[in-house]
Amino acid sequence: MDAIQRHRDGLLVSMATSWEVALLYKRGRLSLPMPPDQFLEKAIVRHGVHEIPFTRAVTLDSVALPEIHRDPLDRVLVAEALLRKCPLVTGDAAIATYPGISAIW
């Protein structure tokens, strides 16, 4: 993850990511060393990440995106990356196919 290390001063995490982490943990699809609220707080502080909230523009843009991905939270991430003109760290190959997205994995 050299790209992450190079951009440590400007790392962003979406509220959609926090939501998804909590959902996956609750459903037993994500294993964490502690509950999600504690895990996310420690990770955000440790890595100096800036949290970005949902905005009306992002939610509306996510609905207007092409139907490449059906997961609404992933669509929010795509909309945020496009709006902010920043790369998106993801292992989801479908996300990387959105026009204008720069995906890092």
The pTM (predicted TM-score) of the whole model is: 0.84
pLDDT (0 to 100) of residue 4 = 60
Q: Which has more confidence, 60 or 6?
A: 60
Task: Note the pLDDT of residue 105.
Answer: 80
CB 44 within 8 A of CB 51: yes
- Give tens-digit pLDDT for 31-80: 999 999 999 999 999 888 999 998 999 999 999 999 998 999 999 999 99
* Segments making up each domain of the chain, as ranges: 2-104
The yes or no reply on domain 2-104 and CATH 3.40.50.20 is no
44's CB contacts (< 8 A; 6+ apart) are: 13, 51
